[in-house]
């Protein structure tokens, strides 16, 4: 649960993203169990500066559940 920007590992502030409602609109998401959990992301290739790949998901206890593999880092659109 440590945020570490060198690996782009941090909580997601959804109000600043392309999905301001967070993971609430994902089909078949159990909103009671996971829909309101804090979103997290990390870089899939942290040692490669050319890579925009991110894994987005939720952390429940000691388990990270991947919700979205984001090849183009589309959650945070480039201005």
Secondary structure, 3-state, 6-69: HHCEEECCHHHCCCCCHHHHCCCCCHHHHHCCCEEEEECCCCCCCCCCEEEEEEECCEEEEEEE
* For range 42-61, the mean pLDDT: 83
pLDDT in tens, 4-34: 777 788 899 888 898 888 877 777 777 676 6
Reference 40, options 15, 12, 79; nearest CA is 12
pTM for the model: 0.77
pLDDT at residue 55 is higher than 90: yes
What is the C-alpha to C-alpha distance for residues 45 and 20, in angstroms, rounded to an integer?
Answer: 25
7 φ, ψ (degrees, to nearest 5): -105, 10
pLDDT of residue 35: 60
Q: What is the pLDDT of residue 36?
A: 67
């Amino acid at each position: 649960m440590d945020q570490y920007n060198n690996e782009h590992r941090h909580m997601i502030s959804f109000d600043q993203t392309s999905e301001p409602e967070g993971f609430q609109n994902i089909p078949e998401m159990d909103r009671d169990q996971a829909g309101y959990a804090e979103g997290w992301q990390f870089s899939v290739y942290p040692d490669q500066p050319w890579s925009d790949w991110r894994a987005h998901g939720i952390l429940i206890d000691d388990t990270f559940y991947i919700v979205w593999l984001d090849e183009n880092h589309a959650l945070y659109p480039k201005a």
